[in-house]
Amino acid sequence: MKSVKTASSGKVLNTNLKKNDVEIISSSGMDFSQDKRSGSFLQSDNKIEFMNTLYDGLDIIDMETALKKIPEAKKYYARAFKELKRDFPKGTKGGYFIRVKKGTVLKLPIQACLFLKQKAFKQKVHNLIIIEEGAKVYLITGCSASKSAFHAHHLGISEFFVKKGAYLNFTMIHSWKEDTFVKPMSIAIVEEDATFISNYISLKPVKEVQMYPTAVLKGKSARASFNSLILSHPGSVQDIGSRVIFKAKNTQAEVISRAISLGGKVIARGHLKSEVPQVKAHLECRGLILSEKGTIHAIPEMESDYRDVNMSHEAAIGKINKEEIEYLCSRGFTRNQAQSIIVRGFMDVDVLGLPQELKQGIEDLENKTLQSSF
Amino acid sequence: MFFEIKDLTVEVEGKTILRDINLSIDKDEVMVLFGPNGSGKTTLLRAIMGFAGYKVIQGEIIFEGERINNLTIDERARLGLGIIYQHPASIRGVKLHQIASFLTKDDSKIKDLSQRLSLSKHLDRDLNQGFSGGEMKRSELFQIILQDSKFLCLDEPESGVDIENISIMGKVLGEYITKLKKSALVITHTGYILDYINAQKGCVMIDGKLWCVGNPRHMFEKIKELGYEKCKDCLIRKST
């Protein structure tokens, strides 16, 4: 286990961004003190604000530089898309290259943020994340937009390589604006005995999000888990799915999504595709519609050419169960208190499998958003 | 009178379930409600608590001199009414400790009582999710004691609980009711709970009507011996 701090440890991050913007970025998970982080990356529109690593064994570099200087960056770039014979948009600018070297276990999360600042800016980034053999890491990325970023776009391409026996817990928090267009495209290649966990949290309004991240379980006994917590505001359209492709035996996956519509439209997709026997997978989608105007459309899909698979799904959509409200009322909660505690419980961050400090941050964020939404 | 029901008629989904119910319970008094399945016992408790769909067509429910017919469930709970459910709701993501902390600010009370009821490990679990029958009932008892209501509606507190746990629950419940002089209306099928709580009154409900009031232990013996069919013209009724 290698996790030695370098001389730059404890360094507070400096940026020329305005106070308002720093607050927005902080509220989507960026800790500028870096007290409880292993390293940081911040890109605002096309500009790299900072990149910083506090540990040996961890590289954090902007994509252009990485492609010039680091052979692995070139080697792995576009490889995930080739694996699935898929095309991807070119002409990106920036994005991060993160590599955690073989055997490195980082207890503190790495943080990254892609920020939109200018009016109508079209940010287009390509990220590459390589977790080498036996390494273990938490990565939290916050994506947010400045108040001035009217009608801005974000296109984020991400490729993840989780090598043999490695562990990646990737948490993405979207805190956009009611007029932002967002299209992330990501593929994770998960090798033997490796684990890829992808958490997605979206609590703020957004114009339109379309994403269908895919994990490819390529090595035997690989595991993937996708967890999404989505709060959909009036005017938002969120088409959000998770796909797992099983290419090796003894692999496992779980896809869980929880969506609450306050008037927005959520399409919750899920797709499990087994190309081999002996896989185990479960898909779960729960939706709460709290406004007459809200829409939730759950589309779970499962495919297999083999009998020897164990795949299941459950989906449930509706309003809050009357019995649950009455139960809490009989304990003395008012109707509003009961509704709020049930909604809060529905968006339980315990499903995410996060370390305590990240969990607390996300819980606080949720409490704040939910309190102001009801 | 501490708690009183006068000429109460209750409809559920347009169908009359309870007719002209009259009963009264004093402070520090426990009444046991017997009756066959489907006779309306649970309906009575739910009407007392004010659940939606339990429509009072006529009559009054009076608690500490106040007519509570038109109060909401939470208003009744705050006045001092509490309930143990026969089939409690389970709520995903809402932890037992969240409810406990709402019911009392006294953390040591939560800790002690959860230990006594073997619920320490359940505090961080989602309410009733995957709880066994016995665990649910212990969790119900745990909550109602923390809530510290003045009047307890207990809907089969011992159903689904194994013998060993009935003794744990029974002792905790009996002690609580006796020491703190609580009033209660208790539904029981098995009668086991009678060994632990000092009930002064019993009554039998058949087809939505109360048939008789008397000594609960005596009544229970007779019911066991003769069944509910004989209740309609039983000796106890003639003697009261």
Q: What percent of chain B has pLDDT over 70?
A: 96
Give mean pLDDT in consecutive 10-residue pieces for chain A, a chain of 374 residues: 43 85 90 92 95 95 96 97 96 96 96 95 97 97 93 96 98 94 97 97 96 98 97 97 98 96 97 97 95 95 96 95 96 94 90 81 85 73
A285 lies in the same domain as A365: no
A120 lies in the same domain as A245: yes
Question: Which chain B residues are within 8 Å of A324, Cβ to Cβ?
Answer: 89, 91
For A312, residues 6+ apart whose C-beta sits below 8 A from its C-beta are: A281, A282, A283
| Domains of chain B, CATH where assigned | 27-42+79-205+214-239 (3.40.50.300)
Residue B81 sits at φ, ψ, to 5 deg, of -95, 140
Let me know how long chain B is: 240
pLDDT of A374 reads 67
For A367, residues 6+ apart whose C-beta sits below 8 A from its C-beta are: A344
Q: How far is A354 from chain B (nearest CA, A)?
A: 16
A259 lies in the same domain as A337: no
For B178, residues 6+ apart whose C-beta sits below 8 A from its C-beta are: B197, B198
A256 lies in the same domain as A341: no
pLDDT of A12 reads 81
Q: How far apart are CA B114 and CA A155, in angstroms?
A: 51
Contact B94 A341 (CB under 8 A): yes
> Could you tell me if residue A12 is inside a domain?
no
Q: Quick one: pLDDT band at residue B191, thresholds 50, 70, 90?
A: confident
Question: Which chain B residues are within 8 Å of A344, Cβ to Cβ?
Answer: 93-94
A299 lies in the same domain as A349: no
The answer to whether A334 and B100 are in contact (CB under 8 A) is: no
A332 lies in the same domain as A365: yes
pLDDT of A2 reads 40
With CA atoms as reference, report the closest residue to B184 among B85, B100, B83: B83
pLDDT of A350 reads 84
Q: How far is B115 from chain A (nearest CA, A)?
A: 21
The answer to whether A292 and A323 are in contact (CB under 8 A) is: no
Interface test with B, best of A288, A331, A356 (most B CBs within 10 A): A331
pLDDT of B177 reads 96
A263 lies in the same domain as A369: no
pLDDT of A313 reads 95
> Could you tell me if residue A85 is inside a domain?
yes
Residue A111 sits at φ, ψ, to 5 deg, of -120, 140
Does A74 contact B at CB distance below 8 Å? no
Residue of A322, A334, A345 with shortest CB distance to B94: A345
Contact B89 A321 (CB under 8 A): yes
Mean pLDDT on B209-223: 88
For A99, residues 6+ apart whose C-beta sits below 8 A from its C-beta are: A58, A59, A70, A72, A129, A130, A131, A132
pLDDT at position B222 over 90: no
pLDDT at position B239 over 60: no
Residue B238 sits at φ, ψ, to 5 deg, of -65, -35
A338 lies in the same domain as A216: no
- Residue found by looking up tokens 């496992």 in the block: A252
ipTM: 0.95
Pairwise pLDDT comparison (A369 vs B111), residue with the higher score: B111
Contact A332 B102 (CB under 8 A): yes
Does A347 contact B at CB distance below 8 Å? yes
pLDDT of A9 reads 46
Domains identified in chain A, total number: 2
Q: How far apart are CA A80 and CA B162, in angstroms?
A: 56
Contact A330 B72 (CB under 8 A): no
Question: Which chain B residues are within 8 Å of A322, Cβ to Cβ?
Answer: 52
Does A85 contact B at CB distance below 8 Å? no
* Interval B130-141: pLDDT, tens: 999 999 999 999
Q: How far is B209 from chain A (nearest CA, A)?
A: 25
The answer to whether B206 and B232 are in contact (CB under 8 A) is: yes
The answer to whether A116 and A154 are in contact (CB under 8 A) is: yes
Does A333 contact B at CB distance below 8 Å? yes
DSSP E strands in A1-109: the ranges are: 39-44, 47-53, 58-62, 96-100
Q: How far is A169 from chain B (nearest CA, A)?
A: 22
A257 lies in the same domain as A344: no
The answer to whether B118 and B169 are in contact (CB under 8 A) is: no
Record the tokens describing residue A153, joined without a space: 């776009």
3-state secondary structure of A196: strand
Question: Which chain A residues are within 8 Å of B76, Cβ to Cβ?
Answer: 330
The answer to whether B119 and B96 are in contact (CB under 8 A) is: yes
> Could you tell me if residue A5 is inside a domain?
no
Find the domain containing A248 and state its range: 19-319
Q: How far apart are CA B50 and CA B46, in angstroms?
A: 6
pLDDT of A364 reads 87
Q: Quick one: pLDDT band at residue B223, thresholds 50, 70, 90?
A: confident
A249 lies in the same domain as A325: no
Question: Which chain B residues are within 8 Å of A229, Cβ to Cβ?
Answer: none
What pTM was estimated for this model as a whole? 0.86
Q: Residue A99's Cα: distance from chain center in Å?
A: 18
pLDDT of A116 reads 96
With CA atoms as reference, report the closest residue to A328 among B132, B49, B184: B49
Q: Quick one: pLDDT band at residue B104, thresholds 50, 70, 90?
A: very high
pLDDT of A150 reads 94
Angle between helix B133-147 and helix B107-116 axes, rounded to 10 deg:
150
pLDDT of B190 reads 85
Record the tokens describing residue B162, joined without a space: 């194994």
> Could you tell me if residue A106 is inside a domain?
yes
Residue A183 sits at φ, ψ, to 5 deg, of -140, 90
Contact A341 B72 (CB under 8 A): no
Record the tokens describing residue A305, joined without a space: 């050419």
pLDDT of B234 reads 60
Q: Residue B54's Cα: distance from chain center in Å?
A: 17
Strand B91-95 and strand B126-127: the pairing is antiparallel
Strand A39-44 and strand A47-53: the pairing is antiparallel
Rg over alpha carbons for chain B, rounded to the nearest Å, is 18
A260 lies in the same domain as A276: yes
